[in-house]
Amino acid sequence: MFINRSMTARVVTIDKDASVLKAKEIMKTHEIRHLPVVDKDNRLIGIVTERDIRSAMPSIALQDQESEEAKKLIAKIRIEDIMTKNPITVSPTYTLQDALLLIQKTRVGAFPVVDDRGILKGIISIRDLIRAFINVLGIGEPGTLLCILVEEKVGQLKKIVDAVTEENISFGSVLVARYWDEGKRAVFPYLLTQNVGPIKRKLEKLGFELLDPMEWYLDQLPKTG
């Protein structure tokens, strides 16, 4: 699934010569935390975040005084002075997986999406990614998540799918994760039903071990000293 299908295409932007107060006002109005900075050709030249603005503003005590000195000091701060130049960007042809890995690696909350010429095409944020994966995984619909421990060999997933479809149960999604025991995997089918008793008993008769999804996760967290 490509980013250009999940990104926010109508991006709120700001000019490098705008004041920090203008940026603060825009963020508040649109309820956003990232503002791409573009030139007259809509070419990306930087990005400013809510944190950048907070760091640049004078102390709360000084602002509260509403003195002429404070007002003049704030008015002099321009976006160009505080923006991050040459920010990390992604291409419209990146996948959602690419964006997730990049967020994990960089700890950045949003990426401008630009084409080969550097023209801003959109922005992809953690919020956009969450929304996209909710749709992909089908977890917006009522259902039940199972955790099935399987041997890591061909045909195991097919057995599970066949068993579920024989019960006339629809899938919201199926995820396969590594397991800490060698030669095993954990399969997480999200089934669009609340009545999972019959299918759980059927899977156990087929020789599968069913685990509580939350217990699996908690038990398998690496131990730290």
**Predicted confidence (pLDDT) per residue in 186-205, tens digit:** 999 999 999 999 999 999 99
| CA distances for 18 relative to 71, 77, 114, 173, angstroms | 15, 9, 22, 46
- Taking 70 as the threshold, does the pLDDT of residue 134 lie above it? yes
Domain 139-220 CATH assignment equals 3.30.70.260: yes
- Taking 60 as the threshold, does the pLDDT of residue 60 lie above it? no
Write the DSSP symbol of residue 97.
Answer: H
**Burial (0-12, 13-18, 19+ Cβ within 10 Å), 37:** buried
What letter represents residue 9's amino acid? Answer: A
pLDDT at residue 223 in the model:
47
User: 67 pLDDT band (50/70/90 cuts)?
Assistant: low
User: 61 pLDDT band (50/70/90 cuts)?
Assistant: very low
Average pLDDT of the chain? 87
Determine the Cα–Cα distance for residues 201 and 203; give it in Å rounded to an integer.
Answer: 6
Nearest by Cα to 110 from 51, 165, 54, 188: 51
Q: What would the mean pLDDT of 27-37 be, rounded to a whole number?
A: 95
User: Per DSSP, which regions of 39-146 are E strands?
Assistant: 44-49, 84-85, 110-114, 120-125, 144-145
Cβ of 88: how many Cβ atoms within 10 Å? 14
Domain 3-134's class? alpha beta
Between helices 20-30 and 68-76, what is the axis angle to 10°? 80
Q: Which of 53-62, 63-72, 113-122 has the highest mean pLDDT?
A: 113-122
Cβ of 125: how many Cβ atoms within 10 Å? 19
pLDDT at residue 136 in the model:
77
pLDDT at residue 213 in the model:
81
Residues 6+ apart with CB under 8 A from 65: none
User: 178 pLDDT band (50/70/90 cuts)?
Assistant: confident
Determine the Cα–Cα distance for residues 112 and 31; give it in Å rounded to an integer.
Answer: 17
Q: Where are the domains of the chain?
A: 3-134, 139-220
Please state the pTM of the whole predicted model: 0.71
pLDDT at residue 196 in the model:
95
